[in-house]
């Protein structure tokens, strides 16, 4: 009797542990299972939004999986809402592609927008904004739309972007706006030096943003620091071509710049440390460790 009781207790313990462990494992939603086509031609926006709705509505951690292939996100996509879980991972093994016709996004402002989210991670993958034709339009002096930022997080907390590559953005590549506790690491932006107004990473109105171990080549600021930021840390970032790390806007590597007009704004507590740059064929290259704890107000840097 005692032996049977011990065995029963042991089996119950294993069953209970298994059930408890299983309940915390993330649920995975593959965009392929929701109708996405990896051909780069079929609009898969609806499938991605469906995957987000399922992950956001899950009471336990969730993963959205994007298998290898090219997926057309043919219109502005807004991923938002008060999710039940604060642990959503978007694992990308493929490439998300914007429409080749820049008028489709036109003046939408953002292509991929995450708004009001908490605990979202993006791991790996490539975002292709297909912005070359819009750069050419702007360079020609014709009337052109502003274009769209490739990836934007707005009013969001506890965000991780790791191993992501962004190419051919119409406008800014990545924008962090009004966020708290954001980490970007291993980000790559291999953009052309003639890609107009395509800042690599723009940060504004945010606190606790960390940018690590990234390589940014672009036609504008590698990292632009706008108004209202505190506790920004940038470390081991290679920049070039590009205008450097900019508080304001600059073409001189590391610099603080503002407008010549009355303002109550201020910049303080800024430390540039171990910065190295070299000049060759008009290209600047920076490897630096940069600690910024600053506040800016009343300015607009675009």
Q: What is the pTM of this model?
A: 0.81
pLDDT at 188: 97
CB 6 within 8 A of CB 13: no
Q: What is the mean pLDDT of residues 61-88?
A: 97
Residue 26 DSSP one-character state: P
Q: Give me the catalytic one of 173, 202, 243, 294.
A: 243
Q: Which pair of tokens denotes residue 236?
A: 């081991």
Place of tokens 């800014």: 172
Closest-CA residue to 98 (of 136, 72, 124, 65): 72
Examine residue 241 and say whether the peptide bond preceding it is cis (omega within 30 degrees of 0).
yes
Mean pLDDT score of the chain: 82
Q: Which pair of tokens denotes residue 4?
A: 């049977």
Quick check: 260 pLDDT over 70?
no
pLDDT band, residue 214 (cuts 50/70/90):
very high
Quick check: 208 pLDDT over 70?
yes
80-126: pLDDT as tens digits = 989 999 999 999 999 999 999 999 998 899 999 999 999 999 999 99
In whole angstroms, what is the distance from residue 99 CA to residue 114 CA?
19
Q: Give me the catalytic one of 128, 199, 202, 220.
A: 220
In whole angstroms, what is the distance from residue 9 CA to residue 193 CA?
68
Strand-pair category, 174-177 with 201-204? parallel
168-193: pLDDT as tens digits = 999 999 999 999 999 999 999 987 77
pLDDT at 84: 96
Q: Which pair of tokens denotes residue 60?
A: 């336990």
- Told to judge if 243 belongs to the known catalytic residues of this protein, a careful annotator would answer yes
Delimit the CATH 2.160.20.10 region(s) of the chain.
98-292
pLDDT at 134: 93
Tell me the CATH number for domain 98-292. Answer: 2.160.20.10
In whole angstroms, what is the distance from residue 192 CA to residue 178 CA?
28
- Told to judge if 220 belongs to the known catalytic residues of this protein, a careful annotator would answer yes
Closest-CA residue to 238 (of 224, 255, 222, 219): 222
Closest-CA residue to 108 (of 59, 156, 45): 45
């Amino acid at each position: 009797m005692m032996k049977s009781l011990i065995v029963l207790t042991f089996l119950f313990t294993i069953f209970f542990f298994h059930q408890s462990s299983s309940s915390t494992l993330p649920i995975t939603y593959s965009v392929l299972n929701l109708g996405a086509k990896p051909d780069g031609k079929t609009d898969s926006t609806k499938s991605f939004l469906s995957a987000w709705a399922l992950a956001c509505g899950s009471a336990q951690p969730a993963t959205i999986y994007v298998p290898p292939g090219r997926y057309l996100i043919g219109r502005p996509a807004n991923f938002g809402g008060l999710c039940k879980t604060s642990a959503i991972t978007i694992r990308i093994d493929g490439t998300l592609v914007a429409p080749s016709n820049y008028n489709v996004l036109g003046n939408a402002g953002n292509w991929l927008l995450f708004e009001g989210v908490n605990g979202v991670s993006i791991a790996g993958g490539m975002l292709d904004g297909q912005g070359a034709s819009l750069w050419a339009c702007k360079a020609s002096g014709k009337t052109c739309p502003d274009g769209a930022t490739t990836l934007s997080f707005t009013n969001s907390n506890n965000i991780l972007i790791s191993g992501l590559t962004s190419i051919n953005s119409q406008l800014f590549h990545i924008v962090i706006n009004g966020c708290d506790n954001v980490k970007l690491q291993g980000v790559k932006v291999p953009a052309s030096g003639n890609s107009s107004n395509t800042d690599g990473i723009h940060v504004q109105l945010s606190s606790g943003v960390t940018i690590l171990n990234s390589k940014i080549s672009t036609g504008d600021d590698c990292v632009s620091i706008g108004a209202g930021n505190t506790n920004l840390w940038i470390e081991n970032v290679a920049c070039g071509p590009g205008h450097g790390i900019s508080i304001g806007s600059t073409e001189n590597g590391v610099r603080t710049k503002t407008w010549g007009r009355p303002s109550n704004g201020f910049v303080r507590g800024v430390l540039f440390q171990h910065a190295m740059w070299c000049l060759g064929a008009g290209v600047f290259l920076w490897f630096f460790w940069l600690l910024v704890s600053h506040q800016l107000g009343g300015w607009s840097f675009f």
